[in-house]
Amino acid sequence: MNFVTPVAASMRAIEERRAWIEAASGVAHGLDKRLGPPDVGDHLPGLGELSGWGISLATPDRNVTGAIFTGFLPRPESVLVKLSASCSGDRMTLTSLEALSALPAKCFDRLTVLSLVSGGVATRVMDRGELVCETRSAPAAALCRRLVEHLVSNASVAEELANAQHRPTLYVLPEFGHVSRPTFGDDPKTPGWQAVRDWEG
Q: Is 89 left (phi over 0), alpha (psi -120 to 50) or beta?
A: left
Domain that residue 86 falls in: 3-199
Tens of pLDDT, residues 1-43:
789 988 899 899 888 888 899 999 999 998 989 999 988 876 5
Q: Tell me: the pLDDT tens digits for 76-108?
A: 789 999 999 988 889 999 999 999 999 999 999
Whether residue 177 is predicted with pLDDT greater than 80 in this model: the reply is: no
Cβ distance 81 to 24 under 8 Å? yes
Q: What angle do CA 21, 167, 46 make, to 5 degrees?
A: 55
d(CA 51, CA 65): 17
Split into its structural domains, the chain has a count of 1
Res. 123 pLDDT band, cuts 50 70 90: very high
The amino acid occupying position 141 is A
How far apart CA 162 and CA 122 sit, in angstroms, is 6
pLDDT average, residue stretch 63-70:
91
The chain-wide mean pLDDT, for the chain, equals: 89
Read off the pLDDT of each residue in 128-153 and give the average, rounded to a whole number. 98
